Structure 1
Amino acid sequence: MPLIQVDLLKQNDKERLRNILDTIHQCAVEAFDIPERDRYQIVNQHDPEEMILLDTGLGFERTKNQIVIRVTSKQRTQDKKELLYSLLGQRLKDRCQIEPQDLLVSIVENGDADWSFGFGKAQFLTGEL
């Protein structure tokens, strides 16, 4: 946990897609102090007309490399969230050639009772996690 959903334009290069997912995970591990095997990612690939990401009036344009990262997580501090944003902006550019203006991140928080990792149990509540 966290659960990370990634929306981007359809990728023909499977290695590039894996690199993007690996980079996002490494950023989450570092920013949120989660274990390496705490990896839950879902990818949604879209045709260009299915993703409209404007600039909220900030005065920039996005490219075909635009990406939305939605993070569902237990509560995190503002510092950890800002670290995640910063790491994603830097590393997606350096490792995946995704410019920071093409990145949109949203974090939604929830609590221990909102997670079940299988077996019909809430492992945070049962003490298994």
Structure 2
Amino acid sequence: MGQIKIYGLEKNINSRRQDLSDVIHSCIVEAFEYPRDKRFHRFFPMNEEDFLFPADRSEDYTIIEISIFEGRKVETKKRLVKLLFERMESKLNISPQNVEITIFENPPCNWGIRGASGDELSLNYKVEV
């Protein structure tokens, strides 16, 4: 299971919403061996007065928060981060300087999905990758 939150300036994130989602999803699918039909993305377009960031970032500054079941290897998570930096730059022209990524891991028992605790679900993908 994974939930993705994407934050950025409203004027930039709204015009790139689908492209951002496609790039992020392609990275998740590849790094985590995640099913293509599982896409849970939430966009948080921010007004300029509500989205403060350092002077060494541009208006492309984007924050990606990824909530997942715990169990993936360190190498797998690092691969995801690397893919995100690479593809955000090559496909969206967003410099790695303007991207911040945080992965939050929780035990499956801390999730409630489709009427069950996450540790009681039957998943169609592996978490231990």
Same fold (TM over 0.5): yes
| Number of equivalenced pairs | 122
Q: Aligned residues: percent identity?
A: 27
Amino acid at match of 1:93: E
Give the 3 Å change call, closer, same or farther, for CA 23–101 of structure 1 in structure 2.
same
In structure 1, distance between residues paired with 2:109 and 2:122: 13
The Cα of 1:13 is off from its aligned counterpart by 7.6
Give the 3 Å change call, closer, same or farther, for CA 34–97 of structure 1 in structure 2.
same
In structure 2, distance between residues paired with 1:82 and 1:123: 24
The Cα of 1:52 is off from its aligned counterpart by 2.4
Question: What CA deviation, in whole Å up to 9, does each residue of 1:9-47 have, x standing for no partner?
Answer: 113685621001110011111111111112111110001
Instruction: Report whether the alignment pairs 1:108 with 2:107.
Output: no
The Cα of 1:117 is off from its aligned counterpart by 2.5
Q: Give the conservation status (yes or no) of the 8 Å contact 1:11–1:17.
A: no
Structure 2 gap segments, 5+ residues each? 124-129
Instruction: Report whether the alignment pairs 1:95 with 2:95.
Output: no
Give the 3 Å change call, closer, same or farther, for CA 79–53 of structure 1 in structure 2.
farther
Give the 3 Å change call, closer, same or farther, for CA 12–106 of structure 1 in structure 2.
closer
TM (norm. structure 2) is: 0.84
Structure 1 gap segments, 5+ residues each? 55-59
Aligned with 2:100: secondary structure?
strand
Question: What CA deviation, in whole Å up to 9, does each residue of 1:27-77 have, x standing for no partner?
Answer: 1111111111121111100012222233xxxxx811000000001111221
Q: Within 5 A, what are the aligned runs for 1:1-129?
A: 1-11=1-11, 16-54=16-54, 61-75=56-70, 76-118=72-114, 120-125=115-120, 127-129=121-123
CA RMSD of superposed structures (Å) = 1.9
